[in-house]
């Protein structure tokens, strides 16, 4: 199936904590484009499954039904973020926990879940353009995107960033635990059979270890300008 609707798409992929979400928000705000936080969809499937007592198993067919019927509303809020409502319940904070991220990573190994979410993700395309962040945006969901970015950073740096983010949200965590979680998540996300975490052949790889948020944002914006003018 052709992913393109002729609408400009920038894909930003990378491992957990590489800064995709922050960079995607900044880039989308600067360009005035829409945003797709695909990780939130996997987190929501995990959350809905846990609430219904459904096992987060890579072969569980019920997970695909949950993904297909996900009753979710994203409402843009201040500073480029979104409020998320699942079955009428505000889950904006619940989906951001590390526990939910790890559960999402398990759900994401389920092939039927991934295909159930494919069209939903492509439907986020809207003029004037879309910035999509995740693991397989450039490889599977929007293979025709003209600007593909892949962000990397060492596990230690990513864990530190995550710790700060969680602190800002008033969520407790410890650094060694976060490094372990991140490494386990990398192994699961990169090692799975379907849509593993890999840079697209035509992606620009940016190592963000020694770059500020502004520097990374500007690199992405420069690339967008060079393609779309």
Tell me if 39 contacts ligand DC by CB under 6 A: yes
Give yes or no for residue 134 binding ligand DC (CB under 6 A): yes
Smallest gap from residue 225 Cβ to ligand DC (A): 25
**Which DSSP symbol is given to 193?**
S
Using CA atoms, how far apart are residues 28 and 74, in angstroms rounded to an integer?
16
Q: Is 8 in the site for ligand DC (CB under 6 A)?
A: no
Of 184 and 228, which has the nearer Cβ to ligand DC? 184
Residues 71-110 that bind ligand DC (CB under 6 A): 101, 104-105, 108
User: What does the block give as tokens for 224?
Assistant: 């967008």
**Binding to ligand DC by residue 163, rule CB under 6 A?**
no
Burial 133-148, CB ≥16 within 10 A → b, else e: bbbbbbbbbbbebebb
Euclidean distance between the first and final Cα of the chain, in Å?
A: 28
Residue 173's SS3 state is coil
C-beta separation of 66 from 52 below 8 A = yes
Q: CA angle at residue 115 from 109 to 121, to 5 degrees?
A: 105
Binds ligand DC by CB under 6 A, chosen from 42, 124, 142, 150: 42
- Residue 200 is a binding residue for ligand DC (CB under 6 A): no
Q: Shortest gap between Cβ of 97 and ligand DC (angstroms)?
A: 11
- Site stretch for ligand DC (CB under 6 A), options 23-31, 37-45, 64-72, 211-219: 37-45
- Residue 135 binds ligand DC, judged by CB under 6 A: yes
> Contact region for ligand DC (CB under 6 A) — 69-77, 79-87, 131-139, 153-161?
131-139
CA distance 36 to 27: 12
Q: Give me the residues that bind ligand DC (CB under 6 A), please.
A: 16, 38-39, 42-43, 101, 104-105, 108, 134-136, 185, 189
């Amino acid at each position: 199936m052709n992913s393109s609707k002729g609408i400009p798409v920038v894909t930003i992929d990378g491992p957990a904590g590489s800064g995709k979400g922050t960079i995607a928000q900044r880039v989308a705000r600067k360009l005035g484009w829409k945003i797709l936080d695909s990780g939130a969809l996997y987190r929501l499937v995990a959350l809905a499954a846990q609430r219904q007592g459904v096992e987060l198993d890579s072969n569980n067919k019920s997970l695909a039904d949950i993904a297909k019927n996900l009753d979710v509303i994203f409402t843009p809020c201040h500073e480029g973020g979104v409020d998320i409502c699942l079955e009428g319940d505000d889950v904006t904070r619940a989906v951001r926990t590390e526990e939910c991220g790890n559960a999402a990573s398990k759900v994401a190994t389920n092939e039927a879940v991934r295909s159930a979410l494919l069209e939903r993700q492509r439907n986020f395309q809207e003029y004037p353009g879309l910035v999509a962040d995740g693991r397989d945006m450039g490889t599977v969901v929007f293979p025709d995107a003209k600007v593909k970015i892949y962000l990397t950073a060492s596990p230690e740096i990513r864990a530190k960033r995550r710790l700060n983010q969680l602190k800002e949200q008033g969520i407790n965590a410890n650094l060694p635990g976060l490094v372990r979680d991140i490494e386990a998540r990398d192994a699961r996300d990169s090692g799975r059979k379907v849509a593993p975490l890999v840079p697209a052949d035509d992606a620009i790889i940016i190592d963000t270890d020694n770059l500020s948020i502004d520097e990374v944002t500007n690199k992405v914006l420069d690339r967008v300008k060079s393609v779309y003018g």
